[in-house]
Amino acid sequence: AQSVSQHNHHVILSEAASLELGCNYSYGGTVNLFWYVQYPGQHLQLLLKYFSGDPLVKGIKGFEAEFIKSKFSFNLRKPSVQWSDTAEYFCAVRGRFGAGTRLTVKP
Amino acid sequence: DAGVIQSPRHEVTEMGQEVTLRCKPISGHNSLFWYRQTMMRGLELLIYFNNNVPIDDSGMPEDRFSAKMPNASFSTLKIQPSEPRDSAVYFCASSERLAAKNQETQYFGPGTRLLVL
């Protein structure tokens, strides 16, 4: 079955720590990949997307993601997180979302 | 553009009542999605329309849920009868299809927060 898996339900980091959130999918063929963020009390915002080309995608707020086709993965990274990055992060493939990963950054 | 518009923003109703949620997509977008978000289940795709036609409704939980898109600028999600377990935030999103089939970006509405007592 087609699915999108986010490995971590809740990640807790201290400020300045590096972040990597996993996302794997089971779709075949061409895919378009997205990462969204939802800050507390706010609606979803697009962080970055990949359609084709350079598999390393730069997004807003210092986030990036790497598409590894052989691993069916699209992991989200940030070298140094801030307290303001506390939010829920969703990976999406073809309109289907992963369960989300809640990130808590301790000041 | 005003973005995706949803109404109402908040709805409180009693079990057994009919609930209708409304969505106006961004003008020119040809795809529309309804999602539900809860603490327990996270974000779920309920149904997806393309050019006003339902393409994938596999996420609709049961027959009490129905969705329509009578034209390109309006969609409804109806729950009849509503139950307490339907309490959630319901998001509508629209997207435009670019040249390649899968190249589209979704834009989300602010959501409707539904509480069924």
Confidence of residue B102 (pLDDT cuts 50, 70, 90): very low
What are the chain B neighbours of A98 within 8 Å (beta carbons)? 42
SS3 content of chain A, % helix, strand, coil (to 5): 10, 50, 40
Cβ within 8 Å of B, A 19-78: 30-32, 34, 36, 43-46, 49, 51-52
The fraction of chain B above a pLDDT of 90, given in percent, is 67
Res B92: pLDDT:
96
| DSSP codes joined into one string, B68-103 | EEEETTEEEEEESS--GGG-EEEEEEEE---SSTT-
| Residue A75 CB-density burial (10 A; 0-12 exposed, 13-18 middle, 19+ buried) | buried
Span B40-58, average pLDDT? 87
Span B62-75, average pLDDT? 95
Give the residue with greater pLDDT, B1 vs A46: A46
| DSSP codes joined into one string, B15-73 | TT--EEEEEEPPTT--EEEEEEEETTTEEEEEEEEETTEEEE-TT--STTEEEEEEETT
Res B103: pLDDT:
56
Res B1: pLDDT:
63
Confidence of residue B96 (pLDDT cuts 50, 70, 90): confident
Nearest to A43 among B102, B105, B110 (CB): B110
Cβ within 8 Å of A, B 15-44: 33, 35, 42-44
Q: Contact B49/B94 with Cβ under 8 angstroms?
A: no
A95 touches chain B (CB under 8 A): yes
| Residue A87 CB-density burial (10 A; 0-12 exposed, 13-18 middle, 19+ buried) | buried
Res A32: pLDDT:
80
Residues A72-99 have pLDDT tens digits of 999 999 999 999 999 999 998 877 889 8
Span B51-77, average pLDDT? 92
- Residue B55's closest chain A neighbor by CA? A95
Q: Which residues of chain A register pLDDT less than 70?
A: 1
Confidence of residue B101 (pLDDT cuts 50, 70, 90): very low
Res A31: pLDDT:
79
Residues B7-31 have pLDDT tens digits of 999 999 999 999 999 999 999 998 8
